[in-house]
Amino acid sequence: MTRVGVDVGGTFTDLVAVTPDGSLEIRKVASTPQDPSVGLFRSLDALGADAIDVLVHGTTVATNALLERRGARVVLVTTAGFEDLLWLRRQDRPALYDLAQAHPAPLVARRDVVGARERMGPDGAIQALSEGELSRVVTEVRAREPESLAISLLFAFRHPEHERRLAAALRAALPGVPVTASHEILPVFREYERTSTTTAEAYLRPKVVSYVSKTAAASAERGVRSLLIMTSSGGTLSAAQAGGRAASLALSGPAGGVVGARLIGAAVDARDLLTLDMGGTSADASLISGGVALTEGAESVAGVPIALPSILIETVSAGGGSIASVDEGGALRVGPRSAGAEPGPACYGRGGTEPTVTDACLVLGWLDPQYPLADSVRLERAAAERALSTLPFSHDVCEIAAGIVQVATAVMARALKRVSVARGIDPRGMALLPFGGAGPLFGCALADALGMSRVVVPPHPGVLSALGLAAAPERVDALASLHRPLADLHDGELDRAFAPLVAAATAALPEATVTRFVDCRFRGQGYEVTVPALRDDPATLGAAFHAAHRTRHGHGDSEQPVELVNLRVVGERAVSLPAFGGGRRGGGDGEAMGRRMIVTRDGKRVRADVWPLGELPVGRQLNAPAILAGPDATGLIEPGWRGVIHASGAVILERT
């Protein structure tokens, strides 16, 4: 079975095909921001396969719709008296010390919020939803001519009867308008996050359905038997399922990279990893602990809280195309603006004139202007020097370039600290796995910034996200709230509560391996810790919670009562994985390609060996300074580091 993963990035679209024997075929083409599917099909055409069994697509269509605010016009129906919930939020500040900064506006206009006179409490109906009120709400909603509808009522996660009646009436009255009810999307407590997630689903669904349907039809015409879409949780959904879970695609692309990083970590026996995907537009940091990607809910995407299961990803504007500029105080900044794919960095020769991180790397000699970057893109050093010369700092462009990479390194280091140090995790005992087209250039610098002593440069680092997509399991998530003191659980109660969730996951994904989890917290806490629920035993769950709480937060009072809050079920159907290893790949003789002069990030000029990444024999020692020149990415071994080729094809770097 041939599985193909395609990751559509801001600058390049990457394709990895895993053939039945486990070998890999790689293609890299320029992205097409005006229509991402064009780049997708260009990569498939470049592959030239007669038939593809499974195509796994990581799409940014949902992410871009949130960033650009180009979703559907939504009308939100909520409990009367709670119409301002999305504006009240959590009454926290977006920036603690900036009193003037405001949160991004909600996805729905205030005039498009309709209050329904009904009320559910924790024990059932307090105010019934009358037939007259039902008719009035339908009339008001129809008058607003919505493109999509969201329904989120108080306590609907526990008592969804009123939501069901409203959803049925609105679907009958407006048959062409998609209706999203909160109990169908996120049946868990916390009213604000549930309402925000439901609104986001309604906002994204028409655009996602249109894109996925068009892509599925065009894929079928090219001989693709099955199209799967990557979700934020690191699994895949069928095209039909993805259309009904639009909000779960908000981090579709970056999640594939974390899946790929986890596979490489397993191959090199590194179960605790900090990962950094540095692409053309941004850099995405994540964390893998014990071989498992850290997942969290209630993550904010473009300022919109989406409380669906998702891999923890911290995104910063420090990609290869991020533009360097001078702020109002005269300091050098990198990002958030990006040159993107069109026109791209100045050195691409496509009309760009502003200095970018890629231009700086070229001027420092880290990139080879004679070597095609991807999709026949050749780099022009003179254009990069002209762009850097526009910055008012120095007559030495190498000095300016070194300043740009230092600032970009600091930005990415902060993202790595937010996913590790800020969560009580010491990165010094972990390995750093940088990937993406530019990630391996910054691996040593980032490890130095975090006090780490080991860096893993994966095989094919520039297309690792696409590889992760091709190897991602099919996955469904089912959630429900269950508030109980852990000590009060009766025999069999947990199994009975899990039963409908397990049935739903099995129905959605037959023959899946089902795993149960519970969200627990100390009584009075405002946050939870997720632990496996292998047995229906309060003592076992309590011990697992205490251990996980101590690991995450550094403390845990074994005498304090523990509450069970939510139930989670994950159904996964694994796929065959690509083969890693086999020593040298390619036709190289394992010798250096030559030497060239480069400038280090601290401004020193040194002569570096240039090694063919992906064509070196297992065990080959690489001394610094050195350039790792690959067909899809370039790496840098800085002074003070040394490398060795692992049996998997990865390059393991360690501080000398």
The CATH code of the domain that includes 508 is 3.30.1490
pLDDT of residue 132: 97
Prediction pTM value: 0.89
Q: Position of tokens 């053309």?
A: 280
Could you tell me which of 37, 39, 110, 26 has the C-alpha nearest to residue 76? 110
Q: For residues 530 and 625, state if they share a domain.
A: no
- Domain assignment present for 241: no
Q: For residues 559 and 646, state if they share a domain.
A: no
Segments forming the whole domain that contains residue 547:
474-573
> Could you tell me the strand order of the sheet in which 634-637 lies?
594-599, 605-612, 626-629, 634-637
User: Which phi-psi region, left, alpha or beta, contains residue 89 (left: φ > 0; alpha: ψ -120 to 50)?
Assistant: left
Rounded Cα distance between 1 and 53, Å, is: 6
Q: For residues 527 and 508, state if they share a domain.
A: yes
- Domain assignment present for 237: no
Check if the beta carbon of residue 380 is closer than 8 Å to that of residue 345.
Answer: no
Q: For residues 425 and 503, state if they share a domain.
A: no
Q: For residues 504 and 617, state if they share a domain.
A: no
Q: For residues 195 and 283, state if they share a domain.
A: no
Average pLDDT of adjacent 10-residue blocks, the chain of 656 residues: 84 85 82 81 84 89 87 97 94 83 92 98 96 97 97 97 98 96 95 96 96 92 92 92 92 89 94 93 90 78 89 88 90 87 85 93 92 73 94 89 96 94 90 94 97 96 93 92 91 92 94 94 90 89 90 80 94 82 52 90 93 92 94 93 95 94
Q: For residues 454 and 321, state if they share a domain.
A: yes
- Domain assignment present for 153: yes
- Domain assignment present for 137: yes
Q: For residues 515 and 596, state if they share a domain.
A: no
- Domain assignment present for 53: no
Q: For residues 122 and 142, state if they share a domain.
A: yes
- Domain assignment present for 223: no
pLDDT of residue 587: 45
Domain count, the chain: 3
Q: For residues 519 and 654, state if they share a domain.
A: no
Which of 529, 547, 573 terminates a domain? The answer is 573
pLDDT of residue 315: 86
- Domain assignment present for 214: no
Look up residue 528 and give its two tokens: 């939870």
Q: For residues 281 and 386, state if they share a domain.
A: yes
Which of 529, 553, 573 terminates a domain? The answer is 573
Q: For residues 186 and 116, state if they share a domain.
A: yes
Could you tell me which of 426, 408, 425, 315 has the C-alpha nearest to residue 361? 408
Which of 189, 209, 229 terminates a domain? The answer is 209
Could you tell me which of 265, 289, 559 has the C-alpha nearest to residue 424? 289
pLDDT of residue 238: 92
pLDDT of residue 300: 82
- Domain assignment present for 131: yes
